[in-house]
Structure formats: C-alpha cells, structure tokens
Structure 1
C-alpha cells in the first residue's frame, strides 16, 4: 500500500509518501510545499493545490492520511490552516484517493506506542521506522511521514480492514 501523509498548513505543508508492506515502511518521496508570507493568500492556496496535485499524480497513493485540526489559542492561524486544509482535501478528492484523518494523539500512539510522546520521540521513531540516516527536515515533513506510518498501522488492523470492506459501521 502506498500512503501519502500530509501535515497541513499555509506557510509549510509537509508531505511524505511511504510504501507500507507487512509492517515495514519504505520512504518513496517526502518534502515540504512552502509559500511566501508576503504572497496574496489566495495565490498561496493555488500553489498548495497545484503542488499537492503534482505529488499525488507522481506517486499515485492508495490512501492519504491527514491531521485532524484543533486549535485552542490562535483563531486567525486556525482559519488559514483550515482553508489550506480544504484546498488539500479538494486536490485529494479530485484525484480519487480516500482520505483518513488522525488526531495527534493517534499518530503518537501508532508511531511510538505512547499517546503522550514528545515531538522528538515521534521524530526519532519515524526516522527509525523508515530506516533514514537523519531526521527529515523541516519538522512538518517528519510529521507528515509519521501521519503516513499511522495510517499504515491503522490500515493493517482487523478493525480497519473490516471498516474498509463495509463489515463494520
């Protein structure tokens, strides 16, 4: 299974595409889509959309894993990230790829085995699971790879397989 993980944002969108087979993960492509702060916001959204479409077309993932959003403090940032996330979801939907959403706690649990793990622990386990020699940069890229691994772990579970086949609602 080829999984694309996405860490949404409007300044930086982290993405990571991994191949998941029998509990083993291999990185295929990863990086960050960046937009400039002074650029017109709508143009930033177009850039994000076009870039996500290009990564989807190049890698043809079987699934996309994206972070569920929640914000407690900065509502202005939340709105911009939500708009960028909407553009990302549009690109994925138009590509015909199913989307799966996970909370940060679920990602931490899947990658480290502990839902309260700190960011450095998640990044290091992501590096180890993908057999990378160094941590992916920027952090958004490592987060996206962790997202992909999370879906790989969840997709392999009997419950998820039953849900995907329509056996559980």
Structure 2
C-alpha cells in the first residue's frame, strides 16, 4: 500500500518522491511483490483518526493510541507517525485488525 503523493509545485521534491518510489518498486519486483493499493492522505487520516482532515498532531495521537504507546511518546519526525498511519490503514482495510468503534 502506498499513500498517494499530491503533486507539489516543487519539482525537486516530486523528483525525490518518484525516484524513491521507483527504487522501492524495483526492489519489491525482484522478490515478486508490487504496490497494488494506493490511498489518499484523507483516507489514511479518516481510517486512523475518524477525521479525513485531521492535522499531523491528531494523526500522531491516534497512532500512539492504536499502538498502545504512552501519550508522551515522541515520534522522531511526522514522517514516522504518518508511515505508521499508512500501515495501520492497510491492516484495517485487510481486516487484519479491527477498526475502533
């Protein structure tokens, strides 16, 4: 599963993201895997927080709750909590874990 990257006006940033995706896809292909599910940032936020327009602190808070981390747990960067949110979205969509009620 991959979170869709909304195009940026910054060409260099887009180039880095797409270059990284290409490397990941080549590595996955080598072992018989592929990225076959794409989700929007709003879908990830909705799945993990219940709010499709949640801000990064809300996403991080929900990830801590989902993972049973302490409320004072600090992620090294927003990217780390975002990556966990994408992984949680995959697990929920595939019914590997149950969504919160």
Q: Normalising by structure 1, report the TM-score.
A: 0.50
Runs of at least 5 residues in structure 2 that lack an aligned partner in the other structure: 97-101
Distance 1:98 1:126, change over 3 A: same
Deviation for aligned residue 1:98: 4.4
Superposition RMSD in Å:
1.8
What are the residue-to-residue correspondences of 1:1-169 with 2, within 5 Å?
Answer: 65-99=1-35, 100-133=37-70, 134-156=73-95
Alpha-carbon deviations, 1:19-53, whole Å to 9, x = none? xxxxxxxxxxxxxxxxxxxxxxxxxxxxxxxxxxx
Structure 1 residue ranges, 4+ long, deviating more than 4 angstroms after superposition:
none
Bigger shift: residues 77-86 or 66-75: 66-75
Indicate if the aligned counterparts of 2:25 and 2:34 stay in contact, CA closer than 8 A. Answer: no
Q: Normalising by structure 2, report the TM-score.
A: 0.80
- Which structure's relative contact order is higher, taking Cα pairs within 8 Å and 6+ residues apart? 1
SS in 1 for 2:38: strand
Rg (Cα) greater in structure = 1
Alpha-carbon distance in structure 2 between the residues aligned to 1:93 and 1:135: 34
Deviation for aligned residue 1:89: 1.8
Indicate if the aligned counterparts of 2:3 and 2:40 stay in contact, CA closer than 8 A. Answer: yes
